[in-house]
A and B are shown apart, each in its own frame.
Chain A
């Protein structure tokens, strides 16, 4: 990536003005994957002076500044309390500490990285994204958008719930990208998300509906859920794993996840 100019605005208004001045201006997240981007940036906009690196716990929600590093997120107690630590564990599986001290939650979400081990578990929670100047939307809605969002992602708001979560990353080594990742969450209803398929993470809505409509969770139902994952979620092949391998992994870990989150 070629960068011509570098700016550190002192207000969101100033940052937004800069961003909307030219289509060749860009926001700086953590910057860890930046070197792989094949683009020319006129002005790189650094938001570090805007105090967007705080995690604030409120009664019903946790509000996370978009510039918060993945490491700060991982070790924060309010984040650990979500879904019996499954989100912290998922974040902790992303490369090493020195990487997570650079990468930010805002950069990870805005990048919509298909291999993200952060987005998959977050899809299972009630997550709202807040953009400057004045827009809010659900994480799943944002991921579905084809166009680049014109605003600045400032905060990520997670509603607190008392459910139980499960996360599984399958990779060749701890430091590798996921071949597949699976997250399950249960709080009177099931949420299941699958990422690194290798396409972007998505919710397994058909299987969630099937489980949530049933009055009793039996081994047969869990087994059917595993079969339905393969039928209803698109998987494909890349250099990390084949479509068939991903399907077997997804079936196996979705079934394990359902059992794990419903354990007394």
Chain B
């Protein structure tokens, strides 16, 4: 079946199986910035934005996104680069595998909350697991990004 949607501000049409999930569709079409982690609706590595809200692409049927907006880090290069600078400054990076999903979640958090509390930040990003760096440096980087500190 054909599915029409907006991918990173461009109209696209994908030919998919009705049971295919968005993660597979995107990666088949060379959007490999979207990573496959647990593949069981938990780790957040495969996060993309659906109409500006973070969703797990491993758990979303591609057929269900007809006419909707999908954003990956490829469509937000300037904003993601800014987040990456804060992560680099705080030493919050190691392998980087979780970064694209986490960066999109943080970007969505900034759009949803004007001045989030520490608890609100933690609650929002808790679904994005990192297996190597721990969370303190990431948390500091997120706080600096949200606060606009340089």
Binding site for B on A (CB under 8 A): 1-6, 8, 28, 30-35, 41, 44, 46, 48, 71, 92, 95-99, 101-102, 174-175
Which of B47, B54, B61, B129 has a CB less than 8 Å from the CB of A175? Answer: B129
Docked-complex contact A101 and B54, CB < 8 angstroms = yes
Question: Contacts of B99 on A, CB cut-off 8 Å?
Answer: none
> Which segment, of B13-21, B69-77, B81-89, faces chain A?
B13-21
* Number of B positions contacting A (CB below 8 A): 32
Q: Does B128 contact A (CB under 8 A)?
A: yes
Residues of A within 8 A of B100 (CB): none
Contact with A along B12-42 (1 / 0, CB 8 A): 0000011101000000000000000000111
Q: Give Cα A96–Cα B54 distance, bound, in whole angstroms.
A: 10
**B41 touching A99, Cβ below 8 Å:** yes
Contact B54 A174, beta carbon cutoff 8 Å: no
* Cross-chain pairs A/B with CB under 8 angstroms, 12 sampled: A4-B18, A6-B18, A8-B66, A31-B59, A32-B59, A34-B59, A34-B61, A95-B42, A101-B50, A101-B53, A102-B41, A175-B126
Distance (Å) between the CB of B67 and the closest chain A CB? 10
A96, B17: Cβ atoms under 8 Å? Answer: no
Q: Roughly how many angstroms separate A84 CA and B22 CA in the complex, as a whole number?
A: 37
Among A4, A174, A175, residue most surrounded by chain B Cβ atoms (within 10 Å): A175
Say which residue of A3, A41, A101 sits within 8 Å of B55 (CB atoms): A101
User: What residues of A have a CB within 8 angstroms of the CB of B126 in the complex?
Assistant: 96-97, 174-175
| Residue in A32, A46, A48 whose CB lies within 8 Å of B56 | A32
Report the separation of the CA atoms of residues A230 and B19 in the bound assembly, to the nearest whole angstrom.
43
CA distance A33 to B124 in the complex (A): 21
**A28-B61, A34-B61, A44-B63 known; 15 other A-B pairs, CB under 8 Å?**
A2-B19, A6-B61, A32-B59, A34-B59, A35-B21, A41-B19, A97-B124, A98-B128, A99-B59, A101-B55, A102-B55, A102-B56, A175-B42, A175-B127, A175-B129
